[in-house]
Amino acid sequence: MNAVSFRDCKAWESEGLMLSTSSNEACKLYDAILSQYVTWRNDETLGGIEGCITAVKAADPDFVMGHVISTGLELVGTGSSVLRDERLASAVRKTVELANCQEELTSRERNHVKAMELFSKGALHKACEVWEGILSDHPTDMLALKFAHDGFFYLGEQIQMRDSVARVLPHWKPQMPLYSYLKGMYSFGLLETHFYDEAEKMAKEGLALTPQDGWSVHAVAHVHEMKAEVDKGLKFMASTEKDWIVSDMLACHNYWHWALYHIEKGNYEAALDIFDEQVYLRCVKSRAMLDTVDACSLLYRLELEGVSVKDRYREVLQVTQPHTEDHTLLFNDLHFLMVSLGSKESATTQRLLESLQELAKDPAENHQFQIAERVGLPMCQALLEYDQGNYKQAVELLKPIRGRFVEIGGSDAQRDVFNQLLIHAAMKSGDKEHQRFARCMLTERDAVRPHSLLTDRLIQRAHSLHV
């Protein structure tokens, strides 16, 4: 990333994306932060995202879009909540106040402030609507596009995540900054709506332009995962590792995908090696939510496969425990719960469930709390019942809502752990009807992902129950 090439005031204006500041330095730093966000890479020569955020505030303390991008990134990272983090809540208020007293702000900038404030309240659908409104007038506003992409991802709105990028693609020209990264974003929307071949083609186009695009690599990894093309996936991750390892914000997640192939094959030792050498170390170092939920999920999947991971749970608990009452996303809560249950930390489990139940009583605008009652809490309770050996109850909680798992957000690959949980619970339930249901789910699974070794192992186990 070349600091010289970042856009100054004039360059942003000529692209129809005027920024209300007279500081060229602030404009370039805004571009530097945006570029690192899109490329999933902290560029150390620039001081990383953190360094650039400090610098942009110094260059122009009143630059509203500087505050929008820095506070917005913290919110979208879901690592802290305005409910529990007064510093973050005050950063949101400060941005809104700054915008209110600057008459020269463009309507686009005002909408960015509005969307960020809505997101901070958990009103994710409304925030995404505002970002989409910005994009209909300014289709090359990468910040609006990327925030909307993340917002739709958290909402499990797969079609909108795909179409949000599809709508703006024709307005972009190959010579525009960050153009190639749109291909990886579009690819991800395509694969989450099951257009696997188109998704792979689009991601490979992105990689032909920018081999270091970790998100395009990630899209290809998903395609191989969803099609159970394990050997292709393993080969692809190994052959491209030197390129995507520079995307420090995504590398952990790409290693997680690599480990999933090993679990699929039954190579548990290889998966544990990736956990120990990459996922766990990166999660402890970054404390980023994506890295943290990956660590939780990997251990839980290994445990479902019968691998003992007790000591590792206790290590990950050090990272998840401080977030027990954040409740930024139900998706995160469910993963923290896997770890508190795995660590036999019943006080933490109880605190998580009780504080979530409390927030669900009065959800206000918060989308997560609105769906907690019908989706999030039953899923949490099912994890608890399964852990206590109450397999029948776990099935009765999950079976009626399995079509709604998507509402907790995340990707098909990430949420698959809950389908696996339901299958295991149904097989272990003493109820003959549940055991038959397990076989039905496995038949469905086999139809969608033929040749899956993991499915084959589960089918063999289900047959041995002689239902």
Residue 125: CB partners within 8 Å, gap ≥ 6?
A: 155, 367
d(CA 248, CA 359): 34
**Do residues 459 and 446 touch, judged by C-beta distance below 8 A?**
yes
For residue 362, give the DSSP letter.
Answer: S
Asked whether residue 34 is assigned to any structural domain, the reply reads yes
**Do residues 147 and 166 touch, judged by C-beta distance below 8 A?**
no
Domain that holds residue 3: 1-157
- Segments in 210-250 forming alpha helices (H): 214-226, 230-244
**Do residues 170 and 182 touch, judged by C-beta distance below 8 A?**
no
What confidence category does residue 1 fall into, taking pLDDT thresholds of 50, 70 and 90?
Answer: very low
Cα–Cα distances in angstroms (integers) from residue 169 to residues 135, 166, 319, 405, in the given order:
11, 5, 39, 30
Q: Helix/strand/coil (H, E, C) string of 364-395?
A: CCCHHHHHHHHHHHHHHHHHHHHHCCCHHHHH
**Do residues 329 and 368 touch, judged by C-beta distance below 8 A?**
yes
pTM of the model: 0.97
Asked whether residue 86 is assigned to any structural domain, the reply reads yes
Residue 3 has pLDDT above 80, yes or no: no
Asked whether residue 373 is assigned to any structural domain, the reply reads no
Per-residue pLDDT of 120-177, as tens digits, reads: 999 999 999 999 999 999 999 999 999 999 999 999 999 999 999 999 999 999 999 9
**Do residues 66 and 29 touch, judged by C-beta distance below 8 A?**
yes
Domain count, the chain: 1
Asked whether residue 114 is assigned to any structural domain, the reply reads yes
Per-residue pLDDT of 268-296, as tens digits, reads: 999 999 999 999 999 999 999 999 999 99
% of the chain exceeding 90 in pLDDT: 97
Asked whether residue 269 is assigned to any structural domain, the reply reads no
Cα–Cα distances in angstroms (integers) from residue 258 to residues 51, 270, 279, 287, 399, in the given order:
31, 10, 11, 20, 29
Per-residue pLDDT of 84-112, as tens digits, reads: 999 999 999 999 999 999 999 999 999 99
Asked whether residue 385 is assigned to any structural domain, the reply reads no
d(CA 215, CA 409): 18
Q: Which helix (H) or strand (E) holds 251?
A: helix 251-265
**Do residues 425 and 386 touch, judged by C-beta distance below 8 A?**
yes
Asked whether residue 97 is assigned to any structural domain, the reply reads yes
- Compute the average pLDDT of residues 23-42: 98
- Compute the average pLDDT of residues 298-315: 97
Can you count the helices (H) and strands (E) in the chain?
26, 0
In this structure, what are the phi and psi dihedrals at residue 366, rounded to the nearest 5 degrees? -75, 115
21: left (phi > 0), else alpha (psi -120 to 50), else beta? beta
**Do residues 114 and 132 touch, judged by C-beta distance below 8 A?**
no
Instruction: Give CA torsion, residues 291, 135, 128, 81, to 10 deg.
Output: 50
Residue 28: CB partners within 8 Å, gap ≥ 6?
A: 3, 6, 7, 8
Residue 466 has pLDDT above 90, yes or no: no
Per-residue pLDDT of 383-441, as tens digits, reads: 999 999 999 999 999 999 999 999 999 999 999 999 999 999 999 999 999 999 999 99
Per-residue pLDDT of 414-423, as tens digits, reads: 999 999 999 9
d(CA 177, CA 140): 10
Q: b or e along 287-321 (b: 16 or more beta carbons within 10 Å of the residue's beta carbon)?
A: ebbbbbbbbbbbbbbbbbbeeebeebbebbbebbb
Asked whether residue 304 is assigned to any structural domain, the reply reads no
For residue 456, give the DSSP letter.
Answer: H
Per-residue confidence (pLDDT) for residue 5, from 0 to 100? 87
Q: At what angle do helices 214-226 and 251-265 cross, to 10 degrees?
A: 20
- What is the pLDDT of the chain when averaged over all its residues? 97
Angle at CA of residue 319, ends 398 and 416, nearest 5°: 30
d(CA 154, CA 138): 23
What confidence category does residue 467 fall into, taking pLDDT thresholds of 50, 70 and 90?
Answer: very low
- Compute the average pLDDT of residues 437-446: 97
Of 430, 436, 426, nearest to 395 (Cα)? 426
